[in-house]
Amino acid sequence: QQQVKQSPQSLIVQKGGIPIINCAYENTAFDYFPWYQQFPGKGPALLIAIRPDVSEKKEGRFTISFNKSAKQFSLHIMDSQPGDSATYFCAARMGSARQLTFGSGTQLTVLP
Amino acid sequence: NAGVTQTPKFQVLKTGQSMTLQCAQDMNHEYMSWYRQDPGMGLRLIHYSVGAGITDQGEVPNGYNVSRSTTEDFPLRLLSAAPSQTSVYFCASSYYGGPTNIQYFGAGTRLSVL
């Protein structure tokens, strides 16, 4: 069963656009929600993360919006650049456990 | 600073062969894990360990064995490879304590089972 659902599967935007990637979760015990960025041939790397006691977190051009009542969270990339072209994964973690449950991934292409 | 090192980077096996994927980290992390990445399915947890001598199953453990004899190393063994195990395998590590969880990933091993 997929406890974290991610959409869209792929996304193409022009340089300067604002791609938005959405994730929804089912288990209300999740309490930590990171986003990972993966470039071709590389392992995923932590991009930004949020806890459910805040509704938004910004780090540079990357913003997470969190809606606890809807059990949804999303990643926004402001002023996107071709170098942002990568696969993005949302994830969720439960309590003291260290296991992450990942979404299915979104392949983002930013055209020059 | 090496971080998480996986070997080999690529491997081709025949059905029924066995092999070990190596993973080593130099950050003194207690927690280590193995994931497989398949198109459209994200990363799925195979096995994990919270310290030397302690391992547990993840979401997709069948066909894989692990052991953790040292803090640094966490090898993944395929006992009898099957075509369904064709995938990209990632090892990750993190500290066990604390409110957040930055998992550091290796560069992956691409495995093809013919």
Nearest CA in chain A to B89: A43
Chain A residues whose CB is inside 8 A of the B33 CB are 98-99
Average pLDDT value for chain B: 93
Looking at residue B95, what is its pLDDT? 84
Distance from CA of B66 to the nearest CA of A (A): 16
pLDDT tens column, B92-103: 998 876 666 688
Percent of chain B having pLDDT more than 90?
85
Average pLDDT value for chain A: 93
Phi, psi of B85, deg, nearest 5: -95, 5
Could you count the other beta carbons within 10 Å of the beta carbon of residue A58?
12
Dist. CA B4–CA A109, nearest whole Å = 28
Q: In a mutagenesis test of the B interface, which of A4, A64, A87, A98 is the best target, namely the one with the most B β-carbons within 10 Å? A: A98
Contacts of residue A81, Cβ cutoff 8 Å, sequence gap at least 6: A15, A110
Nearest CA in chain B to A8: B40
Q: Confidence class of residue B3 from pLDDT cuts 50, 70 and 90?
A: very high
Instruction: Find out whether the peptide bond into B99 is cis, omega within 30 degrees of 0.
Output: no
Tokens of A100: 């992450």
